[in-house]
Structure 1
Amino acid sequence: MKTLRIPIISRWLEKRSESSDLSNPKRWLYNALGIPYGNSIVVTERSAMRSTAVLTCVRILAETVASLPLPVYKRLKPRGRERVSHPVGDLLQRRPNPRMTAFTFRETMMTHILLWGNCYAEIEYDGKGDIKALWPIPPHRVEHMETEAGDPFFRVTTSDGKQHNVPFYAMFHIPGLGFDGKKGISVIQWAKRSIELALATEQFGADFFENGTNVGAVATHPGTLTDEAFERLKQSLREKYEGLGKAHRLMLLEEGMTFSKNTIPPNDAQFLETRKFQILEIARIFRVPPHMMADLERATFSNIEHQSTDFIVHSVRPWLIRWEQTINWKLFSETEQQRLFAEFLIEGYLRGDSAARAAFYKEMFNIGVYSQNDIREKENENPIPGGDRYFAPLNMIPLDLLDEYYKGKLAPKEALKGGDNDEGEQEGAEGMGAAGESAGGPEG
């Protein structure tokens, strides 16, 4: 009786049935331990950083988020906000713990979430119950657990192998894209094939040029060499001509020998095109514009500014919202959440060039939205005396008074006075009223 064989499953079982130990390791054991097997490439969250494209994308996103100001605000009534001094703001902008700066903390947390899909920081409290420090934890050392009652908590394994449990409220956890809303997925593992190809092309290029540009040549002898003559010739060729620093040397051959190159140019093998495509592929995974990775092939002076704005809006802002909502949820008490919140400042990245900013500020100043000091603050300039006043045009009328004005029930002076204007504003209103009447006002 023949045994039923299913090709894929049978081959998998045969590989597992082969004996494998440290003296005779098989490929699956190498992969399980994260060790390259022969010339194979094993992609992990750490080894993926060997790809220049992955390294560049992670650095760009992590450094951008880490460098943005993150002040704490107090909500004003009926609307508006005001910057306040708060211990959480000190943790986020100056020193989250005694061993690192705020920039290093946020950069490390962003690197974790970009590679592993999650970032964790244990919240340390003092004797009064106030937050004392934030300690980042590598994601591969954190497990999501639940009690018998279904309450979540985290199990952390330290570098010395010890374990301790962290309550849910004491863990600052930002998940990336995921399926259950509890834990994010690793982008590196989902894009494993693309990163493998990028690393493989880099390895091929390194191997190709390792012995210089004159590799893969053939030396032909008209006769037959003895073993001793063959070894002497091989050693002579290696010593004199092999290596990048010995390329393009004049080669001297004996006994009628001929020399011919047997190489395939990398360009003919689409080597450069493959490398370029993989850079763009990884840039798409992290949503980073190619020009920020020093690929200016399709960038122009007219579109590079819009690409930079698009990067802030569609690539960086989703990460900022994750940070803001987690901060406001985990670092403020329930009573503080009603009146305090933290928010990143990104206006500096969106303000455009000098001409565009000047036109925007002028328009905002003319309609009374910005004062002179508001504009100076956005340009990182110090305030000036008397620069906090807001100005508005006098030839305008509130919409709720417009119907009464045209029905003749409201005089032009009263419409603009609004009960609070000074004499100068009243005079301006009279002038406007005269202009309105001549243009077909209530008495026209």
Structure 2
Amino acid sequence: MGWIDRLKGVFSPQAAITKETITSSKELYNAMFEGVESSSGVAVSPELALRYTTVMICVRVLAESVAGLPCILYRRRADGGKDRAIDHPLYRVLHDRANAWNTAFEHVEGTMVNLAMRGNGYSYVERNAKDQTIGLIGLNPDPVEIKQARDWTPIYTVTMPDNSRQTLKTKEMHHIRGPFPKGYIGQSMISLARDAIGLGQAAERFGSHLYKNGVKPSGVLKHPQKLGPEATESLRNQFQEKYGGLSNSSRPLVLEEGMEWLALSINPDDAQFLETRKFQRSEIAGIFRVPAHLVNDLERATFSNIEHQTLDFVVHSLRPWLKRWEQAINRDLLSTAEQGEYFAEFLIDDFLRGDFKTRMEGYALGIQNGIWNPDEIRIKENSNRRDDGEGGKYWRPANMYPPEAGGMMPSPDIPAKKSA
């Protein structure tokens, strides 16, 4: 199948094929599927980069971390508080089911993969007669084209299921942009870090070929006599058959007729192969802002600092992504009239929870100072409210009560005395 046939669905089949369109289309196809060559000589594209373990781990960590956080639609209260807007159709779309065949987790996970790799996440917005969002359908970001209307609003052209090209209105598209946006489009971290990823892939391939060839270190066989072409080829094949490949890498060499084995290759440690792999793993994790321990780099991790690294991950990596999601949801999925009443927010409490002893100490201080009541703490710990009805009361230190109460906490059965 030619590259033009494989581009169906990206470009309209009815479009006139000219030299200019062929050139631009082929370049786009190479960037999407075959990759762009990096300085190390390795082609890098989003799909090829995902086969590199460190990139795959980073993308997976970001996608699963964001998708694992509940996204809640709230209704603002007049007193400054908020209530869950469970009666709004968008609540179910964000929290439970994005559409008829995708759960909310699956939709967010897939969109985050596109955001982390391609810099953009697109979803088609389904609305009811009241202009309320009732569904989100994830779109492949590669064939999406964005143009600018005369009033500066973006116009999206997408590929429909029947491979036709259709222009969508702004209200029909949910668009989340990644870091370093250029106008309406976010930039791909894979393309920006192409050389770093290519170097990591080159080191990984070097290690694979090192084990594939089997004879370590590689070298030459020295024969005391002169061999003809046929004898040389026969000796090479016999030697490769017996000692080549990973399964034969530990077999002892048996040399005859006075032959000698002269090692010529550089030891992987001398070539700093392992150090290169470690450095690239750390560098790529830094590009995606994923802590080292989450990409299986535990050299500097301890039991005391992993909790702080996780907190740093939430604050400096996840939180910017969550703000992009929250503000894009409020902009795209709520009508102008609804934006003053509703807003979306991710719950990050689970990531910020400490160990059991630390949580209990914090809860105790919160109850003693009247910040929370016992029922609120039980809900945070995924438990039901107290059955005796006493869990909804707030407490505070006795010395914080007003003078009319005698500076003491009043008894529940005896009302506080009023001052004369």
Q: TM-score, normalised by structure 1?
A: 0.81
Q: Which has the higher contact order (CA 8 A, sep 6+)?
A: 2
Instruction: Confirm whether residue 349 of structure 1 aligns to residue 342 of structure 2.
Output: no
**Kindly tell me: are residues 35 and 68 of structure 1, through their superposed partners in 2, closer, same or farther at Cα, counting changes over 3 Å?**
closer
TM-superposition CA deviations, 1:187-224 (whole Å, max 9, x none) = 11111110011001001111111121435221111111
Pair 1:347–1:425, CA change in 2 (3 A): farther
Q: Is the 8 A contact 1:73 1:342 kept in 2?
A: yes
- Structure 1 residues not aligned, in runs of 5+: 1-26, 399-411, 431-444
Check whether the contact 1:141–1:158 (CA below 8 A) recurs between aligned residues.
no
Give the Cα–Cα distance (whole angstroms) in 1 for the partners of residues 128 and 404 of structure 2. Answer: 62
Assess if the C-alpha contact under 8 Å between 1:31 and 1:42 holds in 2.
no
Q: Does structure 2 retain, via aligned residues, the 8 Å contact 1:120–1:171?
A: yes
What's 1:382 paired with? Answer: 384
Quote the Cα distance in structure 2 between the aligned partners of 1:192 and 1:358.
47
CA 1:163 to 1:98, structure 2 compared with 1: closer, same or farther past 3 Å? same
- The aligned counterpart of 1:164 is 166
Report the counterpart of residue 97 of structure 1 in structure 2.
Answer: 99
Matches of 1:237 and 1:33 in 2, distance apart?
Answer: 39
Q: How far apart are the structure 1 equivalents of 2:91 and 2:170?
A: 22
Match of 1:413 in 2: 404
Matching residue of 1:54? 55
Alignment of 1:270-349 (within 5 A): 270-349=272-351
Distance in 1 separating the partners of 2:386 and 2:33: 64
- Distance (Å, rounded) in 2 between the aligned partners of 1:107 and 1:179: 21
Q: 1: CA distance between counterparts of 2:292 and 2:253?
A: 44
- The answer as to 2:399 corresponding to 1:395 is yes
Amino acid at match of 1:198: G
2:392 aligned counterpart, secondary structure: coil
Change in Cα spacing, 1:423 to 1:31, as seen in structure 2 (3 Å) is closer
Distance 1:147 1:119, change over 3 A: same
More deviation in 237-246 or 121-130? 121-130
What is the deviation of 1:74?
1.7
Structure 1 position 111, deviation (Å): 0.6
Q: Which residue of 2 aligns with 1:65?
A: 66
The DSSP-based 3-state class of the residue aligned with 2:257 is coil
Measure the CA separation in 2 of the matches of 1:235 and 1:98.
59
How do 1:118-129 and structure 2 match up within 5 A?
A: 118-129=120-131
Q: Which amino acid aligns with 1:72?
A: L
Q: Following TM superposition, by how much is the alpha carbon of 1:397 offset from its aligned partner in structure 2, in angstroms? A: 5.1
Structure 1 residue aligned with 2:81 = 80
8 A Cα contact 1:118 1:173, kept in partner? yes
Q: Which runs of 5 or more structure 2 residues have no equivalent in the other structure? A: 1-26
After superposition, the Cα gap between the structure-2 partners of 1:357 and 1:118, relative to the gap in structure 1 and judged at 3 Å, is same
Give 1:41's aligned amino acid.
V
Which of 407, 416, 419 is the equivalent residue of 1:426? 416
Which residue number in structure 1 is paired with residue 11 of structure 2? Answer: none
Q: Is the 8 A contact 1:121 1:136 kept in 2?
A: yes
Equivalent residue for 1:4?
none
Distance 1:150 1:358 in 2: 53
Any idea what SS the aligned residue of 2:370 has?
coil
Q: How far apart, in 2, do the equivalents of 1:305 and 1:30 lie?
A: 42
Distance 1:425 1:353, change over 3 A: farther
> How far apart, CA to CA, are the structure 1 residues paired with 2:133 and 2:33?
39
What is the CA distance between 1:83 and its match in structure 2? 1.8
CA gap 1:421/1:187 in 2 versus in 1, 3 angstroms: same
The one of 195, 209, 212 equivalent to 1:210 is 212
**Counterpart amino acid of 2:416?**
Q
Tell me the alpha carbon deviations over residues 60-97 of structure 1, each in whole angstroms, 9 at most, x when there is no partner: 11101001111222222222112231211101121111
Tell me, in whole angstroms, the C-alpha distance in 1 between the residues paired with 2:180 and 2:407.
Answer: 56
Supply the distance in 2 between the matched residues of 1:422 and 1:130 (Cα, whole angstroms).
Answer: 48
Change (3 A) 1:301 1:251: closer
After TM superposition, give the deviation of residue 261 of structure 1 in Å. 2.3
TM superposition shift of 1:132: 2.9
After superposition, the Cα gap between the structure-2 partners of 1:279 and 1:61, relative to the gap in structure 1 and judged at 3 Å, is same
Displacement after TM superposition at 1:163 (Å): 0.8
Q: State the identity %.
A: 41
Q: Secondary structure at the match of 2:377?
A: helix
How many pairs align?
387
CA offsets, 1:334-357, max 9 Å, x none? 222222222111112112111211
Matches within 5 A, 1:236-247: 236-247=238-249
Alpha-carbon separation, structure 2, partners of 1:178 and 1:307: 25
SS at match of 1:50: coil
Kindly report the root-mean-square deviation, in angstroms, between the aligned alpha carbons of the 2 structures: 2.7
Deviation at 1:100, TM superposition (A): 1.2
Deviation at 1:330, TM superposition (A): 1.6
Whether the 8 Å contact between 1:348 and 1:378 is mirrored in structure 2 is no
Farther off after superposition, 265-274 or 178-187: 178-187
Task: Return the letter of the residue paired with 1:124.
Answer: E
TM-score normalised over the length of structure 2 = 0.85
Matches of 2:30 and 2:340 in 1, distance apart?
53
